[in-house]
Chains A and B, each alone.
Chain A
Amino acid sequence: MLNVTSIWAIYRREMKRAFGTLVQTILSPVLTTSLYFIVFGSAIGSHIGKIDGVDYGAFLVPGLIMLTVLQQSVANASFGIYFPRFTGSIYEVLSAPISYWEVLIGYVGAAATKAMILALLILATSAFFVPLRIEYPLVMVLFLVLTCVTFSMLGFLIGILAGNWEQLQMAPLIIITPLVFLGGAFYELKMLPPFWQNVSLFNPVLYLVSGFRWSFYGAGDVPIAASLGMITLFMAICIVAVWRIFATGYRLKP
């Protein structure tokens, strides 16, 4: 039976930590995203025109939300588990009557929740800058939840595997940001030369951005089924990786 009290204790503590650092956790990403809208959406976007009948500013919204969600999910979850590893206070979690999977639910649940709150804040902020429409709100929510949970799990893995602070910060920086920037967050796939279009198809984030954009405007770079398939595959890979770590106790239990 699930140890709900213990899971809730971890979840609550992680959420409290986020609200304790409100500027870093909430305001900073919202401000950054607003700047993107001003610079790319208004200043540059006014010279680009419409993409598939959508204003460039509005076209940016799903990509910017994805950029923030991926970065924040990974950053929050990796910090959440790495910090107690760093201070040593992880001993308490590991000696509690709670399974590894329950620990995962607590940390990943909190990181995913924070990322979702951010996504909704950015969505609300974008409404001030661009005309928004969401054609498939349920698909949007489904995509958002799956993406937040999956990448929070990836962050959890990074937090367990990281050997120092530099590794912890480098992983999102050198993996997530390039993948999102090259995954169609700011452009449509067919804007690229054919060679780079083919290369981009190997970028898993392209499928996430495309699927999320499809839920807004009914069009994407790849079919929605491919996007859903990719996020499901990503989640499965993360679950297997987490399971291996838990099974062996790697970096957790000597």
Chain B
Amino acid sequence: MPLIEIQNVSKTYVGGHQALDDVSLDIEKGEILALLGPNGAGKTTLINIVCGLVTHTDGRILLDGRDVTAEYRQTRRDIGLVPQEMPLDPFDKLIDNVAFSRRLFGLPHAPDRIEAILRDLSLWDKRDNRLLTLSGGMKRRVLIAKALAHEPKVLFLDEPTAGVDVELRRSTWDVVRRLRDSGVTVILTTHYLEEAEEIADRVAVIDKGRIQLVQDKDVMMRSLGAKKLIVELQAPIERLSDDLAARGFELEPCGARAVVSYDPSEADGLAAAALAAFAAAGVAVRDISTEQSTLEEIFVGLIGDANKGASS
């Protein structure tokens, strides 16, 4: 049984804006799911509905088989949320603020647990600082610490690394991986496709309030990600032979590189055949390489296709 079952959930805000339209999604225990989508796609609304911050119009959500609305006392204990903004009480001391989060979720004070979390997030040295004195990156880590204070089974991270530097982004990824390894299920939204590519196990693409695709990240990359065979020539040429053009090769404007896209599942012998074709055409080859589509290219393609479908 999936840990979280989102069943036909819709949300229409007062004023008529439909943020979610019949969304269904299962989230497995112990996975990292990346929720990808452009601004206004419905990512944050979906997360906020699961966490109890927004009321859904239709459908239902189950966590461990329990309805998150009807049985919120049980389900919310298992959910941690790191929101997109940085909503912190600026005058609180860091350690007090994190300890408050734990108590608020009904757990007794546990100084050892709080210390472990703060050390893990490199915040222990700042524990007596007022939150307003912390940098943006630290505040973001404080939000993660607060979300972990009550030891949730599921952690929602809404744009966790937005606006943080590369080093902090990588350390956040490490934290997320460690959480997954410790059994915590992680759902993150992100604009950084590199982030999803780096740490996600599965990717769900959402656009205009509808789930467009849910797939294992590697499967998605293999099935949707075209590969390119790139042939670098010894010297620029003006045009490709008819045979090479028929094989799908295209000459780049510089005249020194020829590129062909191919399906990875039908790639056997392609490189050898290409080299033979270039030799037959009397074109000397300096180097040959392949390139995989990035998740970003796949994402742009998917959203583009969906938009075309909607407008046609």
Interface residues, chain A, with chain B CB atoms under 8 Å away: 3, 5-6, 8-10, 12-13, 16-17, 20, 83-84, 87-98, 249, 253-254
Contact = CB atoms under 8 A, between A and B. Distances in A.
B278 interface: no
B257 to A, nearest CB: 51
Interface residues of B, number: 33
Interface string B72-108: 1111110101010111111100001000110111111
Contact of A88 (B79, B83, B100): B83
A94 B73 CA distance: 12
Interface stretch (B50-58, B117-125, B237-245, B304-312): B50-58
A91 B72 contact: no
Given A87-B89, A88-B83, A97-B74, A254 B14 contact: yes
Given A83-B89, A254-B54, 6 more contacts: A3-B106, A5-B103, A88-B86, A92-B146, A95-B76, A97-B106
A95 B89 contact: no
A71 to B, nearest CB: 23
B152 to A, nearest CB: 11
B81 A89 contact: no
B54 A253 contact: yes
Given A97-B73, A254-B54, A254-B55, A10 B104 contact: yes
Given A83-B89, A95-B81, A5 B14 contact: no
A6 B106 contact: yes
Contact of B106 (A5, A84, A93, A249): A5
Contacts of A20: 91
Contacts of B192: none
A6 B55 contact: no
Given A9-B100, A97-B76, A87 B13 contact: no
Contacts of B74: 97
A63 B75 CA distance: 49
B77 A87 contact: no
Contact of A253 (B55, B77, B106): B55
A166 B103 CA distance: 32
Nearest to A88: B87
Given A96-B105, A97-B76, A97-B106, A84 B55 contact: no
A44 to B, nearest CB: 40
Query: A3, A94, A97, A253: which has the most chain B beta carbons within 10 Å?
Result: A97
A90 B81 CA distance: 13
Contacts of B53: 91, 94-95, 253
B89 A6 contact: no
Given A3-B106, A5-B108, A6-B106, A94 B88 contact: no
A89 B103 contact: no
A89 B88 contact: yes
Nearest to A5: B106
Given A87-B88, A97-B74, A249 B104 contact: no
Nearest to B147: A92
B77 to A, nearest CB: 5
B103 A254 contact: no
A13 B100 contact: yes
B103 A8 contact: yes
Interface string B39-59: 000000000000111110000
Contact of A97 (B55, B72, B96): B72
Contacts of B86: 88
A254 B90 CA distance: 25
Nearest to A253: B55
Contacts of B96: 16
Contact of A3 (B55, B73, B89, B108): B73
28 contacts: A3-B73, A3-B106, A5-B103, A5-B107, A6-B105, A9-B103, A12-B103, A17-B91, A84-B89, A87-B90, A88-B83, A88-B86, A88-B87, A89-B88, A91-B81, A92-B146, A94-B53, A96-B76, A96-B104, A96-B106, A97-B72, A97-B73, A97-B105, A98-B73, A98-B104, A98-B106, A253-B54, A254-B13
